[in-house]
Structure 1
Amino acid sequence: MPGMITLYELAGADAPRRFSPYCWRARMSLRHKGLAFEGVPWRLVEKDRLAPAGAKLVPVIRDGETWVHDSMAIAEYLEERYPDRPSLFGGTHGAALARFVAAWTDRTVQLHASKPILMDIYASLDPGDRAYFRATREKRFGRRLEEVCPDPKAELPAFRLLFEPARRVLAKQAYLAGAAPNYADYALYGTFMWWRMVSRLPPLERADVLSAWLARMDQACDGEGARALAAAGMAPAGEACG
């Protein structure tokens, strides 16, 4: 029987507001595996707490004496360490697909998602994290935070257009992985949890096939996402779609 795993995950000023997309991948992976864990709030200026893992960013897990960082590395570790638990990938071919979905989400979806919700993220942060966030993001974007996306609603059509490949798949099956969700779904779902944990701007239109998928994902793993949104006082999938 495995012991309690510790998951370090980014939290806002309100501790229940756990909004990192990568931490959500790790959280859903742990739930999928049915492993007991404690989610520990971590903030951007607390780099020293991650030193044993050789990391500066979350997610990080501690499983006994083993520390693992990076969401994909955590998923691969859990798959290898707990092979008797439900598979996160469904075999080597599924793992290859999950890596592709994660890479597409990282390099395309989240790049566009970050701009409309940038000021919402800033407002959600613990006050001690705001100077760090402003300095690092303004360096990344080359302008003041307030100038990055002055009209978030205007960004929505282009953002929503990115999901055409996923729509084609989800029009024919319930999840990206098929009949049941796995890490491929969690990789994309993390972005929507990131968005909805900090912003009331609807990421999707209500009639979008992704909205139905998102509602199913909120109920996956015994409703992990739905419970977290409720705890943070944010809207579930149906209410978070325009």
Structure 2
Amino acid sequence: MALLHKGLDAVFEPVLFSQKEKIEFSNQTLVPILCDASQIICDSWSIACYLDDNYKDYPTLFGDQKARSLTKQFNYWVDIIIHPLLAKAIMTDVFEYGVADQDKNYFRKSREKRFGMSLEKFSSRSQEDIKHLQNALKPLSAILRDQAFIAGNSPSYADYILFGSVKFALLTCPRVIFPRDGSIGEWVNRMTNYYSKNED
């Protein structure tokens, strides 16, 4: 989404859990990775900063430095508060619907080692887990009642930070995790339409 926002062309290479040899050149084991000429940039936040710093003639992802600092705070909030709650709500669905067959054994073992319990115990598909996530999103819901996007009148990187996770959940979980109505549901629809329009 950051590349679409900037209007930059790119070639995308999917990487399965069982294909880590594809990214050995980056000297780490996680995606996303951006390769730009001789530059190798890892981590979504670092990639967004790199794009704005090196492609200044294209639409900005952040705005000014103050906006970037505020977006970084939002990024931490999503990472520390929202992502753990989302993982607990959908991890079993991700395993069932979002992980390739050849990766299921690795995914289960690595996640169960991380959580110290079975996937089914960690993520039991309970409504309570969804409620905890939706309660954590209430401050954002209040913001979106006053403005169309997290960043104001148009989307910026703050919107992409959370919408990336929303899109992942929509693709890997058949249950309703995020509200379909109200300010957050309306924001999801706006972001979906914006993303689809720019993808075309």
With the length of structure 2 as denominator, give the TM-score of the two structures: 0.94
Higher strand share: 1
One-letter amino acid of the counterpart of residue 141, structure 1: F
Q: Does the CA contact (< 8 Å) of 2:23 and 2:29 recur in 1?
A: yes
One-letter amino acid of the counterpart of residue 46, structure 1: Q
How far apart are the structure 2 equivalents of 1:120 and 1:222? 25
User: How big is the shift at 1:204?
Assistant: 2.5
Deviation by residue 1:54-89 (Cα, 9 ceiling, x = unmatched) = 221100111122211100000011011100000000
Which residue does the alignment assign to 2:65?
92
Larger deviation, residues 114-123 vs 84-93: 114-123
Matched, 1:203 2:177: yes
How far apart are the structure 2 equivalents of 1:160 and 1:224? 28
Q: Does the CA contact (< 8 Å) of 2:62 and 2:157 recur in 1?
A: yes
How far apart are the structure 1 equivalents of 2:109 and 2:66? 41
Which residue does the alignment assign to 2:142?
168
Pairwise CA RMSD? 1.5
Q: How does 1:1-242 map to 2 (within 5 A)?
A: 28-123=1-96, 124-223=98-197
How far apart are the structure 2 equivalents of 1:119 and 1:221? 27
User: How big is the shift at 1:117?
Assistant: 1.1
Q: Equivalent residue of 1:37, what SS? A: coil
How far apart are the structure 1 equivalents of 2:2 and 2:159? 10
One-letter amino acid of the counterpart of residue 38, structure 1: V
Deviation by residue 1:166-185 (Cα, 9 ceiling, x = unmatched) = 11211111111111000011
Runs of 4+ aligned residues of structure 1 deviating over 4 Å after TM superposition are: none
User: How big is the shift at 1:221?
Assistant: 4.0
User: How big is the shift at 1:224?
Assistant: 5.6
How far apart are the structure 2 equivalents of 1:172 and 1:105? 20
How far apart are the structure 2 equivalents of 1:84 and 1:221? 21
Number of aligned pairs?
199
User: How big is the shift at 1:100?
Assistant: 1.0
Q: Equivalent residue of 1:68, what SS? A: strand
Q: Does the CA contact (< 8 Å) of 2:62 and 2:71 recur in 1?
A: yes
Q: Equivalent residue of 1:62, what SS? A: strand
Higher helix share: 2
How far apart are the structure 2 equivalents of 1:217 and 1:118? 24
Deviation by residue 1:75-112 (Cα, 9 ceiling, x = unmatched) = 01101110000000001011111111111111110100
5+ residue gaps, structure 2: none
User: How big is the shift at 1:222?
Assistant: 4.6
5+ residue gaps, structure 1: 1-27, 228-242
With the length of structure 1 as denominator, give the TM-score of the two structures: 0.78
How far apart are the structure 1 equivalents of 2:177 and 2:100? 24
One-letter amino acid of the counterpart of residue 3, structure 2: L
One-letter amino acid of the counterpart of residue 71, structure 1: S
